[in-house]
Amino acid sequence: EAGARQFKERVFAGVLANIFTAGILGLFYLNYVLFESYLGVFLYSFLVSEALWPTKKSAVEWLQTSHTISPQAWLLRVLSRVASGMRHYPLLWIIGSRLPLLRSP
SS3 70: coil
In tens, the pLDDT along 26-42 reads 999 999 999 888 888 88
**pLDDT computed for residue 11 by the predictor:** 95
Q: What percent of the chain has pLDDT over 90?
A: 28
- Is the pLDDT assigned to residue 54 strictly greater than 70? yes
Q: In whole angstroms, what is the distance from residue 95 CA to residue 91 CA?
A: 6
Cβ atoms 90, 82 nearer than 8 A: no
Q: What average pLDDT score do residues 77-104 get?
A: 67
Cβ atoms 86, 93 nearer than 8 A: yes
pTM for the structure as a whole: 0.41
